[in-house]
Structure 1
């Protein structure tokens, strides 16, 4: 008796999840806000924050290997002239407008109030309150990248 005949075979296939632009944008902003929370925690403790991302490099043997490369994380909080702490959400390198008037920062007061502000922003993103702003920012960001046609070469 063959081994395959002892198994229960079927024609089922895994379902694919459609690439949702809103979901990708939300996940990107939430990951950024979580990274800002970790950066703030390291700043408060007086430690250096070390973030990494995977990159591919060619080793001495000529093989492509995946390594983790450290990256610089920009602080999204700042002090104004009066010493008040403000926090801004960035999508790419540009501040994300948080309301219809174009406000880009949230007043946190002190560094102690900043984790609550970040948590509130995460909740707002998860609830979909910033979907219109994220869609606009993603559309503006995509204009910066030219698509190559089949006949053109990269410079």
Structure 2
């Protein structure tokens, strides 16, 4: 039975000086379908923050805990019809080959922030969302919220 992953919603918590000097677009959206028998290694989707800041501004983007699990190391999405049915996932710096996330996108205490130097024009700062394979969960739509902080 196919499971729909409605997606993650990123809640932006901007740094104090960013509002005046930078423009940020946070990713949201559908991560696709999940079928445990078919997606044995899981599902990996590349996503990006689209940022426009003055050239040379150093950027640090942190990702907080999952709202569902209250945890960074063990992030989870909940089924929109049954909150006790959960789907494990992780935010990763690079492609999670072989179904593992070698570098977690986190807050600097748990996992590492994303960093970049602004180019003066719109640029993408990329990361991966990985839903682990072989999870026996109820069918339905799964969702989670993750707070994001962007500090120039």
Normalised by the size of structure 2, how large is the TM-score? 0.23
Mark the structure with the bigger radius of gyration. 1
Q: TM-score, normalised by structure 1?
A: 0.23
Which is strand-richer, 1 or 2? 2
Greater relative contact order: 1 or 2 (C-alpha under 8 angstroms, separation 6 or more)? 2
When you count helix as a share of all residues, which structure comes out higher?
1
